[in-house]
Amino acid sequence: MNQQMLSLANFTEDNLRAILQALPALIWLKDADGVYLACNERFEQFFGALEKDIIGRTDYDFVSKELADSFRANDLLAMQKGGLNINEEWISFAHDGHRELVETSKTPLHNSDGKLIGILGISHDITKRKQLEKYEKFRSSTLELLAKNIPLPSVLEAIVRGVELLHTNIMCSILLLDKEGKHLVDGVAPSLPSFYNQAINGVAIGVGVGSCGTAAFLGQRVVVDDIASHPYWAPYAELAAQAGLGACWSQPILSSELQILGTFAIYHREKNALADLDVYIIEQSAQLASIAIERKRIELKIQHMAFHDALTGLPNRSLLDDRLEQTKAACRRHHCFAAVLFIDLDNFKPLNDEYGHNAGDLLLQEVAHRISFCVREVDTVARFGGDEFVVILSDLESELAQAEQLACNIAEKIRASLSAFYQIDIPNAHKQTSVQHHCTASIGVVLLRHLQNDDIDIVKLADQAMYQAKAKGRNTICFLDSKP
Ligand SMILES: Nc1nc2c(ncn2[C@@H]2O[C@H](COP(=O)(O)OP(=O)(O)OP(=O)(O)O)[C@@H](O)[C@H]2O)c(=O)[nH]1
């Protein structure tokens, strides 16, 4: 193509008009008094009129007086400045009623003699850009919340409320998948009616269980534009109608290992189709929720690991100390007795020596299980180390003799349970070796009094009692009084 042909000077009026019509911006020209001289097709959509009917008229003929006043004020400002004036404003398009946030640039236009022709105006749609900017701000503030160690429900509520602020008339929800991965629970949906939230709580996931139940089941986004007619919502159509819900888009919340943690959903009151920006917002919001949920889970895991024994899952010494303090306080408060049992396995070492450490580990796990089975939920079973376990029996009787009797009965139950045969199936590289093992335990018991002297090391005392049991020939229980 010849360079000459590209020059603007050679463009015919038709060419220039075609360019103005093709541009996605609103373009217009008004004289100094605000009377329209020309406009493009996009502008025609704004006024809902053809150019021929716009020319010769002013803003006051098409929009509210308030808006026309503000247009005129900006025209005058550009003329006073003698240069570019830029402002942002919300406008409604008369041809279909939709609203856009636009950035409007107005420039005084002069002819070749320097005489003012009028004002050239150009408006660009910046709705998406502004929403994205708003979303990015919301995203950073949510990440800041995450760094502040705020409880998970509060963070999830901040995500829901933050997204709701991006659009008028939307409601959001976050539902979590229960431990079994089968039900949606612990919903955070402050803008949805509580009768709706109650009806949804605990619902079993599956195809056809609304947008969220289906999204959680399939592990993919489910977009329902029209709840009233969509088969996924058939069982809940009445409930949704009562709650005034027209559309629901639901995004699964996935962990970093792609496990489904729950769903993030956006609801509209009317039928509504998903647009590009909505896809971005719903995906990003689900990701924010995922970070919050995973972070909390890791925190809980670390906390559990810090206070529990890795092999048996029982409380470790740190948690035992803590529980002991709680028990002492409860004894004082309720004027009742408690007891500490120190349990050491007899002749455990030979099992390790003969069948290896794995066999010993399996036996220790079974021991932990058997001891836990002999006590109540309120009691504490801790692994003290190696083949040693400590049990705190809390809230025993308030009468000494009865409390002693109860402690001895439970200790005997544990002794008998631990002395029963162990069937240990040791997994090897190719096959499984089954070993029948017999082992017993020596148990020391110390009663914790309600006015216990805090200087007494109860566990040490129970350990001494256990050694007496060993000395008596093992597989037996020895009782020591903690009275100073
Ligand atoms: N498999 C396994 N063995 C352990 C673990 N921790 C400690 N042990 C072993 O447990 C044994 C404990 O020693 P002892 O209590 O003296 O052994 P015992 O044969 O029961 O001796 P008595 O108590 O005198 O009857 C040692 O052989 C340790 O190596 C563990 O986590 N797994």
Q: Using a 6 Å cutoff on CB, does residue 405 contact ligand 1? A: no
Whole-model pTM? Answer: 0.69
Question: Mutate which of 308, 312, 317, 348 to test ligand 1's pocket (most atoms within 8 Å of Cβ)?
Answer: 348
Q: Using a 6 Å cutoff on CB, does residue 358 contact ligand 1? A: no
pLDDT single digits (tens) 348-364 = 999 999 999 999 999 99
pLDDT over 90 (residue 143): no
Q: Using a 6 Å cutoff on CB, does residue 162 contact ligand 1? A: no
Q: Using a 6 Å cutoff on CB, does residue 309 contact ligand 1? A: no
In the reported structure, the alpha carbon of residue 398 is separated from the centroid of ligand 1 by a whole-number distance in angstroms of 37
Q: What value does the mean pLDDT take over residues 382-403?
A: 92
pLDDT single digits (tens) 290-313 = 999 999 989 889 999 999 999 999
Kindly indicate the confidence band of residue 463, based on its pLDDT and cuts at 50, 70 and 90. Answer: very high
In the reported structure, the alpha carbon of residue 305 is separated from the centroid of ligand 1 by a whole-number distance in angstroms of 22
Q: Using a 6 Å cutoff on CB, does residue 278 contact ligand 1? A: no
Q: Which region among 8-12, 20-24, 418-422 has the lowest average model confidence (pLDDT)?
A: 8-12
Question: Mutate which of 361, 387, 388, 440 to test ligand 1's pocket (most atoms within 8 Å of Cβ)?
Answer: 387
pLDDT over 70 (residue 6): no
Kindly indicate the confidence band of residue 242, based on its pLDDT and cuts at 50, 70 and 90. Answer: very high
In the reported structure, the alpha carbon of residue 343 is separated from the centroid of ligand 1 by a whole-number distance in angstroms of 12
In the reported structure, the alpha carbon of residue 387 is separated from the centroid of ligand 1 by a whole-number distance in angstroms of 5
pLDDT over 80 (residue 9): no
Q: Using a 6 Å cutoff on CB, does residue 351 contact ligand 1? A: no
pLDDT over 90 (residue 466): yes
Q: What is the ipTM of this complex?
A: 0.96
pLDDT given at position 235: 94
Q: Using a 6 Å cutoff on CB, does residue 194 contact ligand 1? A: no
Question: Atom 21 (ligand 1): residue with closest C-alpha?
Answer: 347
What ligand 1 atom has the least distance to the C-alpha of 344? 23
pLDDT over 90 (residue 114): no
Question: Atom 1 (ligand 1): residue with closest C-alpha?
Answer: 360
Q: Using a 6 Å cutoff on CB, does residue 345 contact ligand 1? A: yes
User: From residue 75, how far is each of 58, 282, 345 by CA, in Å?
Assistant: 12, 40, 93
> In whole numbers, what is the pLDDT of the chain averaged over residues?
91
pLDDT given at position 44: 96
In the reported structure, the alpha carbon of residue 349 is separated from the centroid of ligand 1 by a whole-number distance in angstroms of 5
In the reported structure, the alpha carbon of residue 447 is separated from the centroid of ligand 1 by a whole-number distance in angstroms of 27
In the reported structure, the alpha carbon of residue 306 is separated from the centroid of ligand 1 by a whole-number distance in angstroms of 23
When comparing pLDDT for 145 and 468, which is higher?
468
User: Distance between CA 194 and CA 209 in Å, rounded?
Assistant: 19
pLDDT over 70 (residue 165): yes
pLDDT single digits (tens) 116-139 = 989 999 999 998 898 889 888 998
